[in-house]
Amino acid sequence: MRWDPRGRTAPAAARILFWTTIGLIVLLRGFFSYLEGQFVPATFEDVPVVYLAALACLVPTVLLWPMLPWHGHPSARETAATVGFVLASLAIFAISEFGHYFLMATVVAQATSAFGFRTGALSCGLFGVVNFAVQYFVTDFTTMMAVSNSTVVAVSGLIICFVVTGLVAAGRQAEHTRELLADLERAHRDLEDTHRKLRHYTARTRELAVAEERSRMAREMHDSTGHHLTAINVCLANAERGGPVPDQVREDVGEARQLAKQALEETRRWVRALKPLDLEGRTGAEAIGALVGSFSDTGARTRFRLEGAWPEGMDGEAELAAYRAAQEGLTNALRHSGAAHIDVAVRITEDDVAVEISDDGTGADGTAAGSGFGLTVLRERLIALGGSLDGRNRPGGGYVLTARVPRKADPSLENIS
């Protein structure tokens, strides 16, 4: 329900009251004229011209009604229409036998809505003065009766002023409350969105931490246990191919070599099992593209670009290293550079796969660029595979990390039998 009467047009209650009042004035004047046998009432027989002129004011009252402002900022045209409407209504009020109080209520409500309490109170005083003038100079009312009746008219108008002013204040308060509720709802949505992003970022950070730990464990098993078992296998193979030895020793050496080979195969299975889950069911380019897309709602805009066709049958270690390069570059850009845009480009050449991560962040200090633990581990991994890792600040701001991964990793582990 709209309590505030202000608006571009009159409220429904004011429209009903106005048109009902005009209709009653016209109908009753016709009815009384029929009963009295004359159009001009006996009260105004001495001044019929005045009566007819006042009654003719019904026309401008009706014509000006649609132009009246009900909002708090009327234009000059609307102000002029209000002045004409008030004057015409005062004339009709002076000659009406019935309905003039309703007309006064409509005029006072409109003046108060558009121009405030003072203007509404002024219109109440004008109606009181007109009422006193008619009753004192035209009718047979005594001075005391004219004064008392006029006071009642003015006080009635003031009551209407207070009511309309209260409705306007209540409307403003309701509008302010709606604005506050809208602001609160927007803040609540923003807070929910922030919480959702925070939960996603926390889950993503946890996932990255787990993936990094899995990668570290796989790297350790590959570089330490795997190499040690390979060395043992080589030593046992040499011993088996050596000079004459007792059959029992040869049999023990062969059994030890077989056990070392089984342990090496078991280590390889564990290394493969520790690969990041994001690679399951995807090729290298698809996995990196999905990784870049997963960072899109962490506060920075990400973009992935693939130049060339991903090599078929690429070594698993090399594919994992390319994925780790993209992962490490994205993570560092988000954590340390404050970047707003991060681009990941994968370029396929005849010899290697180049993964370039560039951002528009703050860059890195010359002494610290590329010296983090994650980058150090990644560099060691790439060097072991025959690749490289380079990082540099961009001239226009930001940082570029470029990892080159050979298509085929060092086959030494696979060739040992």
The CATH number covering residue 300 comes to: 3.30.565.10
Chosen domain end from 134, 155, 182: 182
Alpha carbon distance 133, 50 (integer Å)? 14
136 pLDDT band, cuts 50/70/90, is confident
Do residues 55 and 169 both lie within one domain? yes
Do residues 53 and 173 both lie within one domain? yes
pLDDT of residue 404: 93
Please give the average per-residue pLDDT across 268-279, as a whole number. Answer: 56
Assigned domain for 355 exists: yes
Assigned domain for 416 exists: yes
Residue 238: pLDDT over 90: no
Assigned domain for 200 exists: no
pLDDT in tens, 39-72: 888 878 778 898 899 999 999 999 999 999 988 7
Range of weakest confidence among 102-111, 194-203, 224-233, 352-361 = 224-233
Chosen domain end from 163, 182, 201: 182
Do residues 172 and 296 both lie within one domain? no
403 pLDDT band, cuts 50/70/90, is very high
Do residues 298 and 175 both lie within one domain? no
Please give the average per-residue pLDDT across 308-334, as a whole number. Answer: 83
Assigned domain for 255 exists: no
Do residues 18 and 165 both lie within one domain? yes
Assigned domain for 22 exists: yes
How much is the mean pLDDT over the chain? Answer: 81
Range of weakest confidence among 56-70, 315-329, 345-359 = 315-329
Please give the average per-residue pLDDT across 86-90, as a whole number. Answer: 93
* Higher per-residue confidence, 105 vs 210: 105
367 pLDDT band, cuts 50/70/90, is very low
Do residues 305 and 167 both lie within one domain? no
Please give the average per-residue pLDDT across 85-89, as a whole number. Answer: 94
Do residues 168 and 287 both lie within one domain? no
Assigned domain for 128 exists: yes
400 pLDDT band, cuts 50/70/90, is very high
Do residues 160 and 289 both lie within one domain? no
pLDDT in tens, 340-351: 889 999 999 988
Residue 214: pLDDT over 60: yes
Residue 354: pLDDT over 90: yes
Residue 105: pLDDT over 60: yes
Structurally, the chain folds into a number of domains equal to 2
82 pLDDT band, cuts 50/70/90, is very high
pLDDT of residue 222: 64
Range of weakest confidence among 42-46, 64-68, 128-132, 358-362 = 42-46
Question: Which residue range forms the structural domain that includes residue 97?
Answer: 12-182
Read off the pTM: 0.46
Chosen domain end from 140, 165, 182: 182
Assigned domain for 294 exists: yes
Do residues 62 and 173 both lie within one domain? yes
Assigned domain for 78 exists: yes
